[in-house]
Amino acid sequence: MELVCPLCNGLKDVRAMCRACGVRLEDGGMITDYVGPYSPYELTPQMKQEHGGLCTHLLYCSTCGEQTYLIAQSEYI
């Protein structure tokens, strides 16, 4: 069995709504992808295990530009 993020792997969809305008938020991916130039290439399974299986995603509104975060619990598949 492998520990995976349900959002990163398309097992679940983000269903959050924008607090400012009510439009459905888009998933911008893992927040670690925005930290540094090599962040998208890090060993993500190892990083998730070190953080208790939590994966933080950036959510954004394509209409008004509002941003927020969603912490997803990784699951074993």
Q: What is the Cα–Cα distance from 29 to 34, expressed in whole angstroms?
A: 9
Query: Look-up: residue for tokens 């069995």?
Result: 1
Model-level pTM? 0.79
**Consecutive H or E run containing 76:** strand 75-76
| 39: containing domain | 3-76
Side by side, the strands of the sheet bearing 67-73 are 26-30, 54-60, 67-73
Total domains present in the chain = 1
**Consecutive H or E run containing 30:** strand 26-30
Q: Given a cut of 70, is residue 21 above it in pLDDT?
A: yes
**Tell me: the pLDDT tens digits for 52-75?**
788 999 999 999 999 999 999 999
**Across-strand partners of 39?**
none
The C-alpha angle with vertex 30 and arms to 27 and 33, in degrees rounded to 5, equals 120
What's the average model confidence in pLDDT over 35-56?
A: 67
